[in-house]
A and B are shown apart, each in its own frame.
Chain A
Amino acid sequence: TQLLEQSPQFLSIQEGENLTVYCNSSSVFSSLQWYRQEPGEGPVLLVTVVTGGEVKKLKRLTFQFGDARKDSSLHITAAQPGDTGLYLCAGDNKDDYKLSFGAGTTVTVRA
């Protein structure tokens, strides 16, 4: 199992502020995915990044894959209460198509 470390573990901010969460590993991944999980629900895929150095934008969310494909970050601009949830990163090893998950960052956006 390839370990993914996410930081911070918890993040509480005021509506309108920006935030960044990180996902780091010593392993190289073929691709990396970000999921958001709301209370009482399963994780929902936000984005998949594949190329080292890749940057993807999804409205106010910006995802970056490190050049060496070992780390990733998620930046949220002008956070809203609807962004509240558990953000999970997951790395894929093409050899077996299994995902290795981080423990997640719990984000709370206060109105």
Chain B
Amino acid sequence: ETGVTQTPRHLVMGMTNKKSLKCEQHLGHNAMYWYKQSAKKPLELMFVYNFKEQTENNSVPSRFSPECPNSSHLFLHLHTLQPEDSALYLCASSPAGEETQYFGPGTRLLVL
């Protein structure tokens, strides 16, 4: 238990569906991250939020839309995804200005 929770843990969706992934951290951290993990590839940083402000959008397609209502919660809204978007989506948090990141268990997404 790292103090970072993600829901749902598994998600199957069609290409026309709209769904949201949720991340919550109970560690008092001010930075939150979304990563995409595909087999045999390095973790891909998608978005970074510092103090609720988005500071990084790593050329992510607009079908992925992040939302950070407060420092403890992070969402990833999904719409009209493609099969190649199937992956493990990991949320992480860290204290501001520190390199150590604490990861949630991830959401395993399958797009049909």
A: which residues have CB within 8 A of B? Answer: 4, 9, 30-31, 33, 35, 40-45, 48, 88, 90, 92, 94, 97-104
In the docked arrangement, what's the CA distance between A102 and B45, Å? 12
With contacts A42-B4, A42-B105, A103-B40 taken as known, whether A98 is within 8 angstroms of B45 at the C-beta atoms is yes
A87 shortest CB reach to chain B, Å: 13
In the docked arrangement, what's the CA distance between A33 and B94, Å? 14
A45 neighbours in B (Cβ, 8 Å): 100-102
What are some 11 contacts across the A-B interface (CB < 8 A)?
Answer: A9-B40, A33-B99, A40-B105, A44-B2, A44-B103, A45-B102, A97-B99, A100-B42, A101-B42, A103-B42, A104-B42
| Contact of B48 with A by CB under 8 A | yes
Interface residues on chain B, size class: 20 to 34
In the docked arrangement, what's the CA distance between A33 and B103, Å? 14
| Contact of B97 with A by CB under 8 A | yes
A94 neighbours in B (Cβ, 8 Å): 99
A42 neighbours in B (Cβ, 8 Å): 2, 4, 6, 90, 92, 103-106
Q: Out of B56, B90, B100, which one reaches A98, CB within 8 Å? A: B56
A90 neighbours in B (Cβ, 8 Å): 43
Given contacts A44-B103, A90-B43, 8 further A-B contacts (CB under 8 A): A30-B99, A35-B103, A42-B90, A42-B103, A45-B100, A94-B99, A98-B48, A102-B42
